[in-house]
Amino acid sequence: MNSTQNLPRILILTGLVIAAALYRILPHPWNYSPLGAMSLFAGAYFSNRIIAFVLPLITIWISDLVINNILLKAYFPEFTLFYEGFYWQYASYILIVFIGSAIKGKIKPVNVFTGSVSSSVLFFIITNFGTWVTLSTYPKTAAGLVTCYIAGLPYFPQTLFGDLIFSAILFGSFELLQYRFPALKLKTA
């Protein structure tokens, strides 16, 4: 396959991922973020698996740099490359790319909806587990873990809503673009 055949597709997909990451640095409600949807989208559409995994992580990391070192500088007095516990969130995004890969070639509203909900649940489970393991806020017991998950529940609806809305925007936009411009469809020969 000639990689230049798919260059317009790759550029549009990359642009949508970057646009989603840029939204993150704008004021928005807590946990209402495009990052889960962006990772799901990358997994579903990029045929190059390296790009599917690396692009979301790089854009997330760059937006983290802006947030931590400019927008929230008061909370991070020294230059911050990575915040404490970042690996739990980044691991979640990597796994969400895998969920996106599972719906690759099967982009239908029900699959995007299921992928979005699965992404939100996965993110909730992993990041709250990470909070329990990493911080001293909760006792390292089963009851402490349950308490940690219960404490995280008020944030889950925003995560779910963000994943659903941004998935609809990203997937819907690209599907409409492919319909309007058939050259954006994946060329395999």
Digits of tens for pLDDT over the chain (189 positions)?
A: 455 558 999 999 999 999 999 999 998 888 899 999 999 999 999 999 999 999 999 999 999 999 999 998 998 889 999 988 899 999 999 999 999 999 999 999 999 999 999 999 999 999 999 999 999 999 999 999 999 999 999 999 999 999 999 999 999 999 999 999 999 998 765
pTM for this prediction: 0.93
| Cα–Cα distance measured from residue 116 to residue 41, given in angstroms and rounded to the nearest whole number | 10
Q: Quote the crossing angle between the two packed helices 7-24 and 156-180, to the nearest 10°.
A: 150
